[in-house]
Each structure stands twice: as C-alpha cells, then as structure tokens.
C-alpha cells in the first residue's frame, strides 16, 4: 500500500515517520525548502517513545507527482487546505482514500466537493508535537493517537487494510466504527481549550484559579456540546467526565497550540475551530455567547497581526 503524507511538519512528520520507520511505503509531499532539510539532516523525531533519524526519507513535490497513491494522509493546517488540495490532487485516483487530520469539520465539505464522498474518510489525531528551531519533530508528551474510518459508520475492506498498516507505527493508529462521533468530540474539547486558553492568555490552571474561571471554561464546553448535540452527535458521558477533569485541574499547565501560536504571532485557525461552530449554532438556533466572545477576541488578534 502506497501512502502519500502531505507535509512533513509536526503531525505528518511524526505519524508518517513512524510508518516509514516500520518499513512501509511512505512518501512525503513537501515544498522545496523542506525537501532540502530532509535530504541534508533526515527526518529527525525526538519522542518519549524513542528518538529516530530517518535518512533521506522519500519525498516528492507537487509538480513532480506522476502516480496515484492508495492513501493520502493529509496533515496540513486548515487555512492551508486549498493550497494542499492543489498540490496532492494529481496523486488521487478513483480508489484513493483521503484521511484528513485537520481540525473542525469544514474541510470535509471542501474535500468532498473536490474528490467525491467515497474518496474522503474521517480522521483525527491527538498528539502534542512541534518543529523545533533545528526543524526536528519533537513530541512534547507521551499521548499519541490516530483514528480513521468510514464517515457513514461501520467498517469496510479498505478500513481493515489501512488499519493493518497503521498498527505497525505503534502510535495507537486504529479504525473507528463511529469516526464522526469521535471527530465531533475532539472538536468540542479542542474549541474549548483553544478558545479558553487563547482568550484568557493562560493555561487551564490559570483560568481555574481566576474568579469565575471554572464556570467559564465549562460553560464553553457546554456550548460546544450543545452545538454537537444539535448536529446529531451529542458527546458521550465518558467523554464529558474525562474532559471535565482535564479542564478543571488545579495547577494544570495545559494549553492549546492556538494559544502558543498567538504568543508567537503566528497564523491561527480561528474560522475553522470557532467561527464554523458559531455558524452551525446559528443554523440550529443554539445560543453560544462565550464562543462569540472568544471568536471576537481571535479575530481582533488576526486583524492586529496583519495590520
């Protein structure tokens, strides 16, 4: 099975690198600068699960793709989706499975419009990773998970075939019979922690320690849950119990990559993670006052950043 990993940054570099380390047929679609970095230094992963340097990982650039791939693992930021689609489109054939690991849900509609519903699977990952100044992939915590599945639910022959490959990476790569539920629950948690830590400019523990902080962060979680429920994916009890503990832990240093991006004056996924939720809330007539405040805050940051 030939797998094209779009991007060799923190997400694509980690999961694609682990699959390559296990001996699978992996190719990274990268820009010229990243191709040069990988050719000279290799793909370097530093992780609690073991460090590795993969010399001369197979790479391809958009203008040199000549063949179709069995799987496209899409790991770009949501605001780069259009450019990413243009770059990997030549690699997609009638039977290519596209597994997007982007945040939110909006990307599914965009991908389906371009490639058709059957080519687009559901997917999500949970990992804290970044590229350091040396352009090495650094996993910051032991947590790692990549799940995927048919958006209509259930299993399929291609899901089982992909699962056999993912299992070799030893990163919790597993199929899900209910991937859309999983994706909605991840969105609930992500929008809550990203929105709250970004708006409050602090970690979970800082928010909880502030007057009204605990009620605020759980209120954001509840607004997100209400939107998920209105769209047919009410968060499950186990998820709510687990995330409440994470979102109210005293002294927690947990933040979100969006908050770290703001500190670094980088581009953020305000529209994809929070703005799209508000649009869906409006369509379902669900009140989301905290999310509206967060979105205004994020858009003000974006205006200030480009001014």
Domain ranges of the chain: 2-176, 182-306
Inter-residue contact 272 to 258 (CB < 8 Å): no
In the CATH scheme, what is the code of domain 2-176? 3.40.50.720
Q: Work out the percent of the chain whose per-residue pLDDT is above 90.
A: 96
Inter-residue contact 81 to 102 (CB < 8 Å): yes
Q: Which residues pair with 29 in a beta bridge?
A: 6, 60
| pLDDT, position 306 | 87
Between β-strands 52-54 and 43-46, what pairing exists: parallel, antiparallel or unpaired?
Answer: antiparallel
How confident is the model over 110-140, as pLDDT tens digits? 999 999 999 999 999 999 899 999 999 999 9
User: SS3 of 71, please?
Assistant: strand
Residue-by-residue DSSP string for 234-289? PPPHHHHHHHHHHHT-TT-----HHHHHHHTT----HIIIIIHHHHHHHHHT---H
Q: Work out the percent of the chain whose per-residue pLDDT is above 70.
A: 100
Compute the average pLDDT of residues 273-289: 97
How high is the mean pLDDT of the chain?
Answer: 96
How confident is the model over 44-85, as pLDDT tens digits? 999 999 999 999 999 999 999 999 999 999 999 889 999 999
Q: What angle do CA 103, 101, 122 make, to 5 degrees?
A: 100
| pLDDT, position 3 | 98
Residue with tokens 């291609």: 158
- How many other C-beta atoms are found inside a 10 Å radius of the C-beta of residue 82? 11
| pLDDT, position 208 | 97
| pLDDT, position 307 | 81
Q: Which residues pair with 99 in a beta bridge?
A: 73
In the CATH scheme, what is the code of domain 182-306? 1.10.1040.10
Compute the average pLDDT of residues 237-252: 96
Pairwise CA distance, residues 182 & 180, whole Å = 5
- How many other C-beta atoms are found inside a 10 Å radius of the C-beta of residue 131? 16
| pLDDT, position 45 | 98
Compute the average pLDDT of residues 236-252: 96
Residue-by-residue DSSP string for 101-129? --SSSHHHHHHHHHH-GGGB-EEEEEEEE
Q: How many residues appear in the chain?
A: 307
| pLDDT, position 236 | 97
Find, among 27, 28, 22, the residue nearest to 52 by Cα: 22
């Amino acid at each position: 099975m030939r797998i094209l990993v779009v991007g060799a940054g923190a997400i694509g570099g980690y999961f694609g690198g682990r699959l390559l380390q296990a001996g699978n047929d992996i190719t990274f679609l990268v820009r010229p600068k990243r191709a040069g970095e990988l050719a000279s230094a290799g793909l370097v992963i530093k992780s609690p699960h073991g460090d590795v340097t993969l010399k001369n990982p197979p790479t391809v650039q958009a203008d040199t793709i000549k063949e179709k791939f069995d799987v496209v693992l899409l790991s770009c930021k949501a605001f780069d989706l259009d450019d990413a689609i243009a770059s990997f489109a030549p690699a997609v054939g009638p039977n290519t499975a596209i597994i997007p690991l982007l945040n939110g849900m909006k990307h599914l509609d965009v991908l389906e419009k371009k490639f058709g519903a059957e080519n687009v699977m559901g997917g999500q990952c949970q990992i804290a990773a970044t590229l350091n100044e040396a352009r090495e992939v650094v996993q910051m915590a032991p947590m790692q998970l990549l799940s995927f599945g048919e958006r209509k639910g259930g299993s399929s022959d291609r899901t089982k075939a992909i699962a056999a490959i993912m299992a070799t990476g030893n990163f919790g790569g597993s199929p899900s019979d209910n991937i859309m539920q999983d994706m909605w629950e991840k969105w609930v948690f992500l929008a809550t922690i990203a929105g709250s830590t970004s708006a409050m400019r602090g970690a979970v523990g800082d928010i909880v320690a502030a007057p009204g902080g605990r009620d605020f962060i759980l209120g954001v979680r509840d607004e997100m849950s209400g939107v998920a429920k209105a769209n047919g994916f009410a968060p499950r009890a186990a998820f709510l119990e687990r995330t409440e503990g994470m979102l109210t832990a005293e002294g927690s240093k947990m933040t979100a990559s969006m908050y770290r991006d703001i500190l670094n004056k980088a581009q953020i996924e305000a529209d994809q993670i929070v703005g799209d939720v508000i649009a869906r809330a409006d369509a379902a007539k669900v009140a989301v006052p905290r999310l509206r405040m967060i979105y205004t805050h994020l858009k003000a940051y974006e205006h200030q950043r480009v001014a």
